[in-house]
Structure 1
Amino acid sequence: MATAPTVAVFRPDDDRIDDAVSLLESLGADPVPDPMLAVKPTGHTPRTDADYVVLTSKTGAELVADAGWDPGEQTVCAIGPATADALEDVGYAVDFIPEEYTSSGLVSDLEADVDGARIEVARSDHGSPILLEGLEDAGAYVHETILYRLVRPEGSGSSAELAATGDLEAACFTSSLTVEHFLEAADARGERDAALAGLEKAVVGVIGDPTAETARSLGVEVDLVASEATFDALARETIDALAED
């Protein structure tokens, strides 16, 4: 009987990492949960005087709900179904989800309608500039509120150790920051070069072209970009790629 492949997953240390582990196990993998993102709330809330408000994550949805934020008459936009579900779970109505679950997808869907509009973007401190620049280029007046900062958790890096010893068969990176923090964790252990060599032998899957570009710029060879910006698609396609190896 074949041994289940070891697959690193870097989701935040909450129900997202639990769900990711369960999904990978159901696909026949041996998950290596190694959270690379910890949330530090800023205490700020989105403005309420815009025409549109954009939220980009489940974390953001939960933080604004905890703060009692009221979007008023703003058009509430969510990048992707996971963010939309999180907003609806905490009592907000979602008015718009882009066809492509990315910053560029949102810009593409809204750019014809936002000339002169006021848009509030509420997200982490590591959001893609594509969203702000794209909406501004479309003629919108854009304001960004940083809801939380993303830091590398203490003790992260078990997956980097496995990569360094050649015992990691795949890795699922969900953002540029997870790639950067993975390599920081490897650096902290004095194993960056060995971890990079280990990833070269593994299947590396990512969400989004920006993540792929970051990874390649840091020396990580990317094998696949998920067909849609969800962890479900990333996990399934990474496991499929492993089976083809």
Structure 2
Amino acid sequence: MNVAVFRPADERLDRAVDLLEALGATPVPDPMLEVAPTGDAPRSDGDFAILTSKTGVELADDAGWTPGDAALCAIGDATASACRDAGWTVARVPDEYTSAGLVAELDGDVEGARVEVARSDHGSAVLTDGLNDAGAYVHETILYELTTPEGAGDSAELAADGDLDAALFTSSLTVEHWLDAASDRGIREDALAGLNDATVGCIGPPTRETAEAAGVDVDVVPDDADFEQLARAVLD
């Protein structure tokens, strides 16, 4: 099976390729995200500090930031693990690895509190709006921008030719950038048709909603927002 994977071209893509090969699939690595750091660091005066990705943790750590006395919150095990690797204590990880899940986790605890949110330029407003509605004073720091790598879209060509068996979308942006890459190549309609003939997996409900709104038929969403679970579920 030809299985497209869209992770950034770093160790995450390498691990994804290794996993797919171990599961008996033929990986089609087609990075849809490229990280462009802004050089900014989170503020250090919050009562709560929220990091939403491993990339954000690494950039904050490289900038010499530490959570200090703030209660550190991480969306997902991968982000929490990266925080611990940096030597930081993680206070809260939501049961549901989404912005809405973290808002639900903190609701009732952040009224009147200063909350620092450090993430990419494409972070969901669900998080910041939800925290504001819960009574928090929210400050957001953009640690990095996410762009489409030059030359992205080889998997869209496969889909248009009917040669793609599965696709693993790991964020709303990977969906949007994939469709943009198909449009740039002049094959959006055929690529979308080919994608809908394949098995499509989305890592969580927000990604599924983005895909379905764009006309993508989503077949699989794993119970947890975890790449290995996504890959195994799609291959099953």
Q: How big is the shift at 1:90?
A: 2.2
Does residue 1:183 correspond to 2:179, yes or no?
Answer: yes
Does residue 1:36 correspond to 2:32, yes or no?
Answer: yes
Does residue 1:169 correspond to 2:165, yes or no?
Answer: yes
What one-letter code is carried by the residue in structure 2 that aligns with 1:185? A
SS of alignment partner, residue 76 of structure 1: strand
Q: How big is the shift at 1:41?
A: 0.5
Q: Distance in 2 between matches of 1:128 and 1:231?
A: 20
What one-letter code is carried by the residue in structure 2 that aligns with 1:115? E
Superimposed CA distance per residue, residues 52-92 of structure 1 (whole angstroms, 9 cap, x where no aligned partner): 00000011011011111122101111101101111222222
Superimposed CA distance per residue, residues 141-185 of structure 1 (whole angstroms, 9 cap, x where no aligned partner): 111100000000001111111001000000000111000100111
Alignment partner for residue 67 of structure 2, among 59, 68, 71? 71
What one-letter code is carried by the residue in structure 2 that aligns with 1:153? P
Q: How big is the shift at 1:233?
A: 1.1
Report the more deviating stretch, 218-227 or 14-23: 218-227
What one-letter code is carried by the residue in structure 1 that aligns with 2:152? S
Aligned to 1:232: 228
SS of alignment partner, residue 224 of structure 1: coil
Identity of aligned residues (%): 64
TM-score for both structures, normalised by structure 1: 0.94
Superimposed CA distance per residue, residues 33-61 of structure 1 (whole angstroms, 9 cap, x where no aligned partner): 11100001111111111100000001101
Aligned to 1:90: 86
Does residue 1:53 correspond to 2:49, yes or no?
Answer: yes
Superimposed CA distance per residue, residues 210-239 of structure 1 (whole angstroms, 9 cap, x where no aligned partner): 111111111111112221111111111101
Q: How big is the shift at 1:209?
A: 1.4
Q: Distance in 2 between matches of 1:166 and 1:220?
A: 15
- Number of equivalences: 236
Q: How big is the shift at 1:192?
A: 0.4
Q: Distance in 2 between matches of 1:226 and 1:124?
A: 24
Instruction: Give ranges in structure 2 of 5+ residues lacking alignment.
Output: none
Alignment partner for residue 115 of structure 1, among 107, 111, 121? 111
Q: Distance in 2 between matches of 1:95 and 1:113?
A: 13
Superposition RMSD in Å: 0.9
Superimposed CA distance per residue, residues 100-139 of structure 1 (whole angstroms, 9 cap, x where no aligned partner): 1111111111102111111000000011111111111111
Aligned to 1:12: 8
Q: Distance in 2 between matches of 1:71 and 1:174?
A: 27
What one-letter code is carried by the residue in structure 1 that aligns with 2:89? A
Instruction: Give ranges in structure 1 of 5+ residues lacking alignment.
Output: 241-245
Q: Distance in 1 between matches of 2:182 and 2:220?
A: 22
Q: How big is the shift at 1:99?
A: 1.3
Q: Distance in 2 between matches of 1:152 and 1:92?
A: 31
Does residue 1:147 correspond to 2:143, yes or no?
Answer: yes
Q: Distance in 2 between matches of 1:101 and 1:220?
A: 23
TM-score for both structures, normalised by structure 2: 0.98
